[in-house]
Amino acid sequence: MVAPTDADTSAGKITISIAKPRTPGSGYAKRCAVGGAPLTTTCIGGSTGVAIDKAGTLYVANEGSLHRFTVGEDCTLAPAGEPLALPPNNPRPQVVGKGPIYMRSGGVAWELAQTTDAVYVHDFLVGLFRVDRGKVEPACTEQFGFRTFAKAGKRLLAERRGIEEITLGAKGKCKAKSAGIDDKARELFVARDRVYTKFDDLGVRLCAVTAMTACGDGACIVDHNCPKIVQLAADGSVLREIDDDKLFDKRPWSLDGAATARDGTVYLYARHRDKVGDKDVCEAAVYAIPPAVFER
């Protein structure tokens, strides 16, 4: 169907094409069947993320709780014990004029961080906690204001005043110093021990990167605002872009996290939005993308 522009000239035309409905199950990403109560959540902000530990247990941060699942056949997620209650808010009184002041709007917003040897949850003011040993253990609560945690080799990194290196002590004690990577960075992503603080040199359009994880022999970048995955080769070059129409049968409201299992399966954390009366209601979802999708 062709519609003329407002000027109604032969030179300017808008072409509108109507795509056929997607065949259910044709998207690369399969939505997992989550056992237990639905993971209702806020639509903007709040706690987000997915991670997988060495034993294969899958973790989902949902509001003030951490849900653990055993992954079964055909991506069925069975609850692995009761959800773990995450720590309450910690306002952190600070003195004006003696260094940076760390503040945020809204309440606690937990995010997950998966390393080769542990799974952590962290919040901007509350701190960093290890959660893969059956309980919530303080890992770095002495300092705060970190937005992202990731591990590159043996170095635990975080983004605060640029990229900082974190040394963990006992019972939440920790030290931070410049990692000597980028003291002005405002983003931190790590995949296969490679550190990324920006993506300007890739030659692809990225609107809002929310996650990065290993995939294939390289890494995958998850874009929320221009929903897609950008697959990188082992040398960091772009292999391809996988748009949302190839990923999903039904496009999620948001894409907020990613993690890779030992078998190469990539799991995505997403939110689906619906209307109940005049209110927006969201539910967290987990999608699985098989490793074959990322083979060359």
The chain-wide mean pLDDT, for the chain, equals: 91
- Position 24 scores a pLDDT of 60
String of DSSP letters for 81-144: SSPEEPPPP------TTSS-----SSS---EEEE-SS-EEEEETTTEEEE-TTSS-EEEE-SS-
pLDDT in tens, 262-293: 999 999 999 999 988 888 899 999 999 999 99
Residue 91: pLDDT band with limits 50, 70, 90? confident
Question: Higher-confidence residue: 21 or 215?
Answer: 215
Other C-beta atoms closer than 10 Å to the C-beta of 283 total: 18
Domains in the chain (CATH in brackets) are: 26-89+105-291 (2.120.10.30)
For the stretch 41-77, pLDDT in tens is 999 888 999 999 999 999 999 989 999 999 999 999 9
Neighbouring C-alpha atoms within 13 Å toward the C-beta of 52: 23
The rounded radius of gyration (Å) of the Cα atoms in the chain is 21
**Exposure on the CB side of residue 196, measured as CA atoms within 13 A:** 22
Half-sphere exposure of residue 262, counting CA atoms within 13 Å on the CB side? 9
Which residues are CB-neighbours of 141 under 8 A, at least 6 positions away? Answer: 90, 126, 127, 128, 129, 172, 174
239-253: pLDDT as tens digits: 999 999 999 999 999
pLDDT at 9 (0 to 100): 47
Considering only 16-25, 118-127, 140-149, which range has the smallest mean pLDDT? 16-25
Q: Are 138 and 172 in contact (CB under 8 A)?
A: yes
The confidence score (pLDDT) of residue 1 equals: 45
The single-letter DSSP state of residue 244 is H
Place of tokens 């190469």: 264
For residues 83 and 68, the answer to whether their CB atoms sit within 8 Å is yes
Percent with pLDDT over 70 in the chain: 92
The continuous run of DSSP H or E covering 246 comes out as helix 244-247
Phi, psi for 291 (deg, rounded to 5): -60, -25
